[in-house]
Structure 1
Amino acid sequence: MNLEKYKVTSTIKLSDFATKEVEEDAKKALKKIRKKISDLQSAMYAEGKYGLLICLQGMDTSGKDSLIREVFKDVNASGVEVHSFKVPTALELKHDFMWRHYIALPPKGKIGIFNRTHYENVLVTRVHPNYIFGENIPAVKSLKGIDDAFYHDRMERINQFENHLATNGTIVLKFFLNLSKNEQKNRLLRRLRLPEKNWKFSAGDLKERKLWDKYMFCYEEVLNKTSKENAPWFVVPADDKPTARLIFAKILLQELEKYHFEAPTLSSKLLAQLDDFKAQLNNE
């Protein structure tokens, strides 16, 4: 599997990326990778130099929740923190648009997963610019002030934010789950057909679906303007969930292995005392 083809390294067209790939025995292959990811997180924690921020974006039903559940099953529960960002609260709107994301960042040694991310501020708000008024930005007087330049400036602020994180020891990896419109239709119908899935359905999903082309334009701009070497985007075909999870896991494993995490070694003084320590315990 050529993992580089999923990475955004130059100006791209989303239409050039596949939405479906099928890997045989994807579930079996994922089980092997999960253990390796768990071992890497343990080593990262012991070393204490890096944290990992994973950003997951995708249209409704793209499989973000189940991907998190399946890929991180074997990782120590205390080593993973998941944050799902919904509509900003009254308190969050009293701060700048990055505040609620900054305070949710993972500490060194842990994996932080943003399920929907700070990019909602240049995706959802760009499709629905009236949402910006809730932020009470002094310079924004009308919709005319919420133009392309406004969002391009926000994207640059995000680039600066992520560069700051990377410089200070946070590994930033961003994934767009590339779902086809037809597959989203099938998944929404499944939520309506199966009683145990009804709770997942929202009438708002259908309203947002009508804005599909606008969202694809916004995603394409985000991918092109904010995929950087120290905070890259990966476009993962999402129509087949098992394969999407496997591709995500393989990319994650490949990226983490670049850091060669190592647990700290004991000092020569402590090493020389190990037998004494063992004897003290055995003689209790």
Structure 2
Amino acid sequence: MVEELANYLSECDIEVLDLDGLTLPVPKEGEHKILIAPGYNLVEMMEEICEEETLSEYVNKELEQVQRLGMKDVLGKIVASRLAYTDIALEPEELEGKSFEELYRSYSLLWEGSEMLNEEFGESDTEPFDWNTAWLQGKVEEDEQVILLTLPAEAGYEAPLWVPMGGYNECPLPEHQSVIFKHFQQMYQIKIVAVSEDTWILQAGKRPRTFDEALRLAKEHFIFCQYVMDGFPTLGHYADYLMKHDIWYFWWD
């Protein structure tokens, strides 16, 4: 499986590393070092994409779309997709031109009445996710190897296109992930450090400076990936976490 995935990524700067004795790479200035935990779903997505074009052709085509979309455009599409099969279904056109807070209010209807939506400040004692070799071993499905992909600092947001995962269940499309990562890169200087077939791990280069800013960021994370709230009683607690810690963990069921 590792060999197949490495072949698809042959146009990239990659290394195949043994899990035994692996030292987690430290992101350096000017680059993103991204550990890829190979999985069958990743290989299947690569196979589907590369049936009619090379991976680089796919990335270049998707980047044109990424450049046309803004963060709010993508969040609107995600909100519409989440509401699509509910009693509060909205068409994407109905969300166009809405403010971020209006988009969030529509999204929050899915959890109407839940204490989780409480925006008041809460002191968080949640420790950051420990993305260690044990986590990688739990994600690797076959070979005892992982792939290290290096991308230039300015191209970090392209990672979801080079390693496409998503577009199923509640996980956003790769192009939507790319737009969101571009926003996070511009606002919080994120480094993308690891990916599996259901997870992205990011490290923020700077944190929100005020609670209001952190609350806005917490809402962005919540729309992008509802599971960020696992382990946090309220949105206010998650906002406090984002002011204290740099590791962002996005996982989809």
User: TM-score w.r.t. structure 1 length?
Assistant: 0.23
Q: Per chain length, whose mean CA-contact separation is higher, i.e. which structure has more relative contact order (CA < 8 Å, sep 6+)?
A: 1
Q: Which structure would you say has the larger Rg?
A: 1
* Larger helix share, 1 or 2: 1
